[in-house]
Amino acid sequence: ASAALGAAALPAARATGAEPALEVPAWTRTPGEPVLWHAYGQPDAHEAHVVRRTRGTAVLPGAASSLTPLQNLHGIITPTGLVFERHHAGIPQIDPAQHRLVVHGLVQRPLILSMDDLVRFPAVSRIHFLECSGNTGVEWRGAASTSIQQSHGLLSCCEWTGVRLSTILQEVGVDPAAAWVLAEGADGAAMSRSIPIAKAWEDALLVYAQNGEMLRPEHGYPLRLFLPGWEGNASIKWLRRLKLGAAPFMTREETSKYTDSLPDGKARQFTFTMEAKSVITYPAVDHRLRGRGYYEISGLAWTGQGRVKRVDVSTDGGASWREARLEGPVLDRALTRFRADWQWDGGPAVLQSRVTDETGYVQPTGRQLIAQRGLNSLYHYNAIQSWKVATDGSIANAQV
Amino acid sequence: ASAALGAAALPAARATGAEPALEVPAWTRTPGEPVLWHAYGQPDAHEAHVVRRTRGTAVLPGAASSLTPLQNLHGIITPTGLVFERHHAGIPQIDPAQHRLVVHGLVQRPLILSMDDLVRFPAVSRIHFLECSGNTGVEWRGAASTSIQQSHGLLSCCEWTGVRLSTILQEVGVDPAAAWVLAEGADGAAMSRSIPIAKAWEDALLVYAQNGEMLRPEHGYPLRLFLPGWEGNASIKWLRRLKLGAAPFMTREETSKYTDSLPDGKARQFTFTMEAKSVITYPAVDHRLRGRGYYEISGLAWTGQGRVKRVDVSTDGGASWREARLEGPVLDRALTRFRADWQWDGGPAVLQSRVTDETGYVQPTGRQLIAQRGLNSLYHYNAIQSWKVATDGSIANAQV
Amino acid sequence: QVYGLGKPGSPAAIAAWNIDVAPDGTGLPPGSGSVAAGQAVYAAQCAACHGAKGEGKPADALVGGLGTLATGKPVKTIGSFWPYATTVFDFIRRAMPYQAPQSLSADEVYAATAYLLHLNGIVPADAVLDATSLPQVRMPNRDGFVADARPDTASRPCLQCR
Amino acid sequence: QVYGLGKPGSPAAIAAWNIDVAPDGTGLPPGSGSVAAGQAVYAAQCAACHGAKGEGKPADALVGGLGTLATGKPVKTIGSFWPYATTVFDFIRRAMPYQAPQSLSADEVYAATAYLLHLNGIVPADAVLDATSLPQVRMPNRDGFVADARPDTASRPCLQCR
Ligand code: HEC
Ligand code: HEC
Ligand SMILES: [Ca+2]
Ligand SMILES: [Ca+2]
Ligand SMILES: [Ca+2]
Ligand SMILES: [Ca+2]
Ligand SMILES: [Ca+2]
Ligand SMILES: [Ca+2]
Ligand SMILES: [Co+2]
Ligand SMILES: [Co+2]
């Protein structure tokens, strides 16, 4: 069915009743704050609501997460101060001069590298998304979140700069028997994951800078692993050690924790890839429409498999679809902003987006996911999201 | 002459004398700070030196500038807290609910737009550099700066989101006689510039978000003009008014201020374009090399005319050149990070970079600029920069 | 496409913000000001920053510099450099005095403009400026501006090096 | 290409950080611990967060859940879910007790592991674990894990809509 979204140009009647005569405001009648008011800048006081938030309260707030306020963001870059957090034993405060990276195990020349050493190697910069495998997990058992920050906020996108892990593997000389790499953090959890060596050679990065500046404490200062397109927990923060081995190390994080339970009681292990996903960030459950007329639907699409190929949007709950505009550049394993025109006629509507990635993978419905995986998987819920618009302009999270 | 930069793989002798036995540091032996330690994140305390700075002190610090610490940055995105400032009457603190944009003059439907109105229009996001026409102006009369922050720090690059000015021009209906647009700020300077209407149609943006979040106060909150590739002062901040006219308005900023004096006493006017420029940001005057061996030369190149096509680097003061690697994506009128391998043999060296843009324009030498424009131009100094490395690893600003 | 957003900007609604003045005088308000009145405005509102006689310090010099533009040390002031007298009015009205922009009456702005033009030897001591006379003032450096002539450097990469 | 940066990582230099334990027991340190000793360690160091008998609250339950994995409410604990006993040792050594990670001796970690395995009915009350015996403990859910089978949803865009 061909959709009529925005096809009919039906502008809202321009507000009549002229604006009251403009006055010269106080801030024009006086000089403002001096240069270097903040040597390191801060958001305006009117944006104080744009902050990370948690989901409920954690008994031990070091083993918890905070979420990115996607409802307030624009474009694809997440400002670093709003990039989501997930810690297992809080945020260590590391002295970068004392920090070391040990690379050992099945290698010819085990090495200890300081930060001064690491920044000397050739560097690369890449814009990539980072998503927690638990993102949107609260939606497995029905529409649960009343904010897109709660449902989809374990998601961010930054420019990462660091050294290719392959550069370091060449530096140490890899034993042919090596098949897995243990990555370990210097935090109180000594957080650890086993990574297949193919990923280490292919595109893994040892990152020290994020959006131009050194990493922040909560994102792994002074060094983290970064695995493009893979679940966030595997991109070990505060990275202190890489050990090459012949088999996976079977840490708690890849046995007890980040595995996906199936209805038959088995659990999928090493489910690293973040499959293609999209969500409309405006208008979303956080917003309210002010009357009928033109709205630009805007959202984010991404895939751990490469590039977004197309995004379709629906305003009738999936009965009809229409291709959205993709904002360029469409980058490999980065957020892609999509936009579509919409004339709201004032009636009920259900807004959805559906991404197709360059491998041909199409974002599934929740029903499709549940049919395959049941309700106990916790992770990797990448279903089409529905926002239900009521005639009064209010918007609800819905599963249709 | 073909250069030997890095061609010979001469690794520094790996430091002998094993690292003292590693101890488990205090930050691993205790849980760290809780999630939401900062609901809006901050840099690590060890990075407190990475801040904006001024050049000297201004008598009236509202009419001044601050500079971006390029010596500490990575990649192409400038974190918003470090984006340089230039104000003419300080930073106004504007209530976005009361802010308005007036669009009038030679138009069919003069309009008053609130921020709520503006964010309703279709949006675009673009990654572009912003550079002050005065950037590097201190170098016209000889090597003056002892920090790249001082010499080149009126330069940043962000993702900007907003409405195409062309969308607003269509909304108001442009009179065919309109040839220039006056843009005016709501600051105490009511800062104003005349913009040719062709630029307004082509790619000018009305920007409300920068690097994903709403503009910061010092960058024009809640609304600014953004003119890709043009000198920063023309991208009027705190934008309150656009007036279409048949001729330029000849404001103080385009007569007294942002004009470029020539030796014959005439001054060039409406010199908007930022011509192609590049600079090595590491190793630069702010750094010191720790012994011979491998270094990656890294820098930034950009052009107001489109895309960077190539960057060449020299380590012998321009006697020989070698092509640098360009970090992708190479975007239209955005900073482009370049990198080149260098084996420092411990001898004196002069590091230079030279950009060629897609129009074929090649970054000039200081001598070429002075031959054309003399020494009184103040603005638009885009010469090749030289960093002189001494045998002790110290680095000086030099003109060779 | 028209989106139908915003409100009409009637002349009355936008009047307080519509302050620009063009070289032909468009935008100049009713009112007038003499050099003598300007001297008083200047002494009270401007001299602290621009010097008793416009010689500058701490802020810009507003007087002098005639004949210096083609020298090694050009002194660029209203008198030596600014091409239009209307710009003086426009800038003072929108931005000065620095600590209280847009606080002067039209008469005060005309007067301050007249005084500064007089200090620069451009109008006589008995001059009175208004919407008619101000645009007729011809500034010494009226023809001092040329168009952007860039690109003006023709570098080519060293062919040997390619 | 080799850049020659860094310092050699001799076994002695990295020993304090080289704490991982593999399923085959590689990495297990000398020492041993009994269920009885573990009961004391657990009561002193662990019970406050994981419950007197490992039933959980405020932190994870460490005991129980056998037979629940294929139900609508799987209870995933060391006993019901973890495939390797070595992982219990590895995790306690690196991360527990939460407020003082890496503070336990090897004997204490062996003991706490033995006690938790006993509470889960996996080792007898007189068990003593060390580098030889621990890897030989067979966990109930040893074969409970399967490989990633994604993509497992085969959506195709509606052809009518294209
Ligand atoms: C508190 C200090 C202060 C006072 C008082 C002040 N000014 Fe200024 N004036 C400045 C500053 C600072 C600037 C430069 C502003 C900028 O950077 O754009 C300036 C700039 C100017 C300029 C532009 C100079 C040029 O060469 O571009 C003129 C003209 C001017 N002032 C006139 C006046 C007049 C007339 C008054 C009184 C009605 C006045 N000023 C009062 C501080 C002051
Ligand atoms: C101060 C509270 C606290 C104390 C004391 C504590 N733990 Fe924990 N424990 C936690 C928390 C919180 C987690 C979850 C950490 C995470 O999110 O990664 C945890 C997780 C665990 C797990 C993994 C559970 C799973 O299902 O993945 C084990 C096993 C464990 N603790 C054992 C112990 C032992 C043994 C001790 C004593 C030696 C101990 N804990 C003491 C708080 C505590
Ligand atoms: Ca908003
Ligand atoms: Ca890149
Ligand atoms: Ca550094
Ligand atoms: Ca774009
Ligand atoms: Ca001046
Ligand atoms: Ca558990
Ligand atoms: Co997974
Ligand atoms: Co210019």
Q: What is the mean pLDDT of residues C109-126?
A: 98
Q: Which of B265, B291, B326 is the endpoint of a domain? A: B265
User: Which residue of B lies nearest to C21 if distances are taken between CA atoms?
Assistant: B249
**One domain for residues A286 and A172:** no
Rounded Cα gap, residues C132 and A46, in angstroms:
45
pLDDT tens for each residue of A37-63: 999 999 999 999 999 999 988 889 999
Instruction: Name the residue facing A29 among C6, C15, C100 (closest C-beta).
Output: C100
Per residue in A132-161, pLDDT (tens digit) is 999 999 999 999 999 999 999 999 999 999
Which member of D3, D17, D103 has the closest CB to residue B29? D103
In a domain, residue A64? The reply is: no
* Residue C49 CB–ligand 1 contact under 6 Å: yes
Q: In the beta sheet, which residues pair with residue B341? A: B296
- The answer to the question of residue A43 being in a domain is no
Same domain, A93 and A151: yes
Residue written as token pair 């050990």: A243
What's the CA-to-centroid distance between A52 and ligand 3, angstroms?
16
The closest of B121, B213, B84, B122 to B160, measured between CA atoms, is: B213
Instruction: State residue A12's pLDDT score.
Output: 55
Which stretch of DSSP H or E encloses residue D106?
A: helix D106-119
For residue A7, what is the nearest residue in chain C, using CA coordinates?
A: C1
CA distance B170 to B304: 26
Q: Which DSSP category does A398 fall into?
A: E
In a domain, A20, yes or no: no
What pLDDT, in 10s, does the model give residues B104-144?
Answer: 999 999 999 999 999 999 999 999 999 999 999 999 999 99
Same domain, B293 and B259: no
- Whether the per-residue pLDDT at D157 is higher than 70: the answer is no
Specify whether A295 is located in the same domain as A222: no
- CB contact under 8 Å between A18 and C10, yes or no, is yes
Specify the DSSP class assigned to residue B108. S
Cα–Cα distances (Å) from A14 to A294, B117, B120, B251, C3, in that order, read 11, 11, 13, 33, 8
Answer whether C61 contacts ligand 1 (Cβ < 6 A): no
Alpha helices in chain A (DSSP H): 115-118, 148-152, 165-172, 197-202, 366-373
CA dist A177 and A266 (Å) reads: 29
Distance B210 CA to ligand 6 centre (A): 12
Residue A59, pLDDT score: 86
The answer, for A60 touching chain D at a CB cutoff of 8 Å, is yes
Residue C155 has pLDDT above 80, yes or no: no
Question: Maximum distance among all alpha carbons in chain D?
Answer: 69
Among residues of chain C, what percentage have pLDDT more than 90? 94
pLDDT, mean over chain B = 95
Residue A7: is its pLDDT beyond 50? Answer: no
Written as one string, the DSSP assignment of B185-212 is ESSTT--EEEEEHHHHHHT-EEEEEETT
What element of type H or E holds A182?
A: strand A180-185
Which tokens sit at A20?
Answer: 């009251």
Same domain, yes or no, for A224 and A284?
no
- Which of C4, C5, C15 is closest, CB to CB, to A21? C15
Helix (H, G, I), strand (E, B) or coil at C160: helix
User: Is the Cβ pair D87, A255 closer than 8 Å?
Assistant: yes
Does D145 touch chain B if contact means CB atoms closer than 8 Å?
no
In angstroms, the CA D68 to CA A322 distance is 44
Length of chain D: 162
Place of tokens 């673009």: B126
**Is there a contact between D152 and A373 if contact means CB atoms under 8 Å apart?**
yes
Q: Given B238, B265, B292, which residue is the final one in a domain?
A: B265
- Two tokens, residue B308: 């960077």
Q: Which residues contact A371 (CB under 8 A, 6 or more apart)?
A: none
Question: Per-residue pLDDT averaged across A8-32, rounded?
Answer: 79
First-to-last C-alpha distance (Å) of chain C = 50
Distance between CA C49 and CA D109 in Å, rounded?
A: 75
C85: which chain B residues are within 8 Å (Cβ-Cβ)? none
The per-residue pLDDT for C162 is: 42
Is residue B3 a part of any domain in this protein? no
Q: Do A170 and D102 touch (CB under 8 A)?
A: no
Which tens digit of pLDDT belongs to each residue from A310-340?
A: 999 999 999 999 999 999 999 999 999 999 9
Residues A237 and A343 in one domain: no
CA distance B192 to D14: 63
Distance from CA of A174 to the nearest CA of D (A): 13
Looking at beta carbons, which residues of chain D come within 8 Å of A276? none
In whole angstroms, what is the distance from residue C22 CA to residue A326 CA?
42
Placement of tokens 């991208």 in the chain:
B235
| Residues D138-150, mean pLDDT to the nearest whole number | 98
Burial classification of residue A314, based on how many CB atoms lie within 10 Å of its CB (0-12 exposed, 13-18 middle, 19 or more buried)? buried
The domains of chain D are located at 30-143
Q: What is the pLDDT of residues B314-372, one digit of tens each?
A: 999 999 999 999 999 999 999 999 999 999 999 999 999 999 999 999 999 999 999 99
Closest ligand to Cα D112: 2
Q: Are both A252 and A289 inside the same structural domain?
A: no
- Whether D16 sits inside 8 A of B23 (CB atoms) is yes
Share of chain D above pLDDT 90, in %: 94
A80: left (phi over 0), alpha (psi -120 to 50) or beta: alpha
Name every residue whose Cβ is closer than 8 Å to that of residue A108 and which is 6 or more positions away in sequence. Answer: A172, A173, A174, A175
Asked if residue A225 belongs to a domain, the reply is: yes
Q: Note whether A201 contacts D: Cβ–Cβ < 8 A.
A: no
C contacts of B372 (beta carbons < 8 Å): 152-153
Residue C144 to residues B235, B246, C81, C85, C137, Cα–Cα distance (Å): 25, 22, 8, 14, 16
List pLDDT tens digits, range A365-396: 999 999 999 999 999 999 999 999 999 999 99
**Partner A, chain D 75-134, Cβ-Cβ below 8 Å:** 76, 78, 81-84, 86-87, 90-91, 94-95, 98, 101-102
Number of domains in chain B: 2
* Residue type present at position A256: S
C70 burial level (CB within 10 Å; 0-12, 13-18, 19+): middle
Cβ–Cβ gap D7/B15 under 8 Å: yes
Whether D7 shows a pLDDT value over 90: the answer reads yes
- Please choose, from the candidates A115, C132, A183, D3, the residue with its C-alpha nearest in 3D space to the C-alpha of residue B296: D3
How many C-alpha atoms does A71 have within 13 Å on its Cβ side?
A: 22
B293 and B352 belong to one structural domain: yes
| pLDDT on residue B3 | 36
pLDDT score, position B59: 86
Residue A124 shares a structural domain with residue A228: yes
Q: What is the CATH number of the domain that holds B365?
A: 2.60.40.650
Subunit contact C20:B243, Cβ cutoff 8 A: yes
Q: How confident is the model at residue B15 (pLDDT cuts 50, 70, 90)?
A: low
With bands split at pLDDT 50, 70 and 90, how would you rate the model's confidence at B150?
very high
* Longest alpha-carbon distance in chain B: 79
Instruction: Supply the DSSP symbol for A81.
Output: G
Query: What's D21-60 look like in SS3?
Result: CCCCCCCCCCCEEEHHHHHHHHHHHCHHHHCCCCCCCCCC
Average pLDDT, chain A: 95
Please check the confidence at residue C27 and state whether its pLDDT lies above 90: yes
* Residue C161 confidence (pLDDT): 42
Q: Under 8 Å CB-to-CB from D133, ≥6 apart: which residues? A: D127
- A306/A358 Cα distance (integer angstroms): 7
Q: What are phi and psi of D24, to 5 degrees?
A: -80, 5
Cα nearest neighbour of A312 on chain D: D157
How far is residue A373's CA from residue A360's CA, in Å, rounded to a whole number?
A: 21
Residue B21 falls inside a structural domain? no
Q: What is the mean pLDDT of residues D133-155?
A: 96
Question: Ligand 4 centroid to A125 CA: how many Å?
Answer: 4
Lowest pLDDT segment from B121-130, B149-158, D150-159: D150-159
B307 domain residue, yes or no: yes
Average pLDDT over residues A302-306: 98
pLDDT at residue C157, rounded to an integer = 57
Q: Is the pLDDT of residue A8 over 60?
A: no
Rounded Cα gap, residues A255 and A233, in angstroms: 13
pLDDT tens sequence across D58-83? 999 999 999 999 999 999 999 999 99
| pLDDT classification of B9: cutoffs 50, 70, 90 | very low
Banded pLDDT at B7 (limits 50, 70, 90) = very low
A94 and A211 fall within a common domain: yes
Nearest to B102 among C17, C94, C146 (CB): C17
In CATH terms, D30-143 corresponds, of 3.30.2320.50, 1.20.1630.10, 1.10.760.10, 1.20.1260.10, to 1.10.760.10
Question: Is position B366 within any domain?
Answer: yes
* The total number of residues written for chain B in this structure: 400
CA of A250 to the centre of ligand 4 (A): 33
Token duo for residue A387: 């926002």
CA D24, CA B344: separation in Å to the nearest integer?
Answer: 47
Considering only CA atoms, which of B75, B6, B5 is closest in space to residue B327?
Answer: B75
Ligand nearest to the backbone CA of D91:
2
Residue with tokens 């301050």: C112
Q: Which residue CA neighbors atom 43 of ligand 1 most closely?
A: C98
pLDDT of residue C156: 66
Instruction: Look up the domain containing A218 and give its range.
Output: 86-258
Helices assigned H by DSSP within chain B? 115-118, 148-152, 165-172, 197-202, 366-373
Cα separation, D113 vs D131, in Å, equals 12
CATH of the domain at A240: 3.90.420.10
Instruction: Give the tens place of pLDDT for each residue, B41-80.
Output: 999 999 999 999 999 888 899 999 999 999 999 999 999 9
Is C2 in CB contact (< 8 Å) with chain A? Answer: yes
pLDDT beyond 60 at B1: no
Do B246 and B286 lie in one domain? The reply is no
ipTM of the complex: 0.96
Give me the mean pLDDT over the A86-106 stretch. Answer: 98
How close, in Å, is residue B49 to chain D by CA atoms? 26
Measured CA to CA in angstroms, residue A350 lies from A139, A154, A297 at distances of 17, 24, 12
Answer whether residue B5 shows pLDDT above 80. Answer: no
**Widest pairwise Cα distance in chain C:** 69
Which tens digit of pLDDT belongs to each residue from D80-97? 999 999 999 999 999 999
Which CATH code fits C29-143? 1.10.760.10
Cα A170 vs. chain centroid, distance in angstroms? 31
Nearest to B222 by CA among B123, B129, B122, B118: B118
Task: Give yes or no for residue A171 having a pLDDT over 70.
Answer: yes
Name subunits touching A (3+ CB pairs < 8 A). Answer: B, C, D
Contact check, Cβ <8 Å, A28/B125: no
User: Which are the contacts of B45, defined by CB distance < 8 A and separation ≥ 6?
Assistant: A93
How confident is the model over C84-107, as a mean pLDDT? 98
Tens of pLDDT along A227-244?
999 999 999 999 999 999
Residue type for position B308: V
Q: Which helix (H) or strand (E) holds A268?
A: strand A267-269
Give yes or no for a contact between B272 and C148, defined as CB atoms under 8 angstroms apart: yes
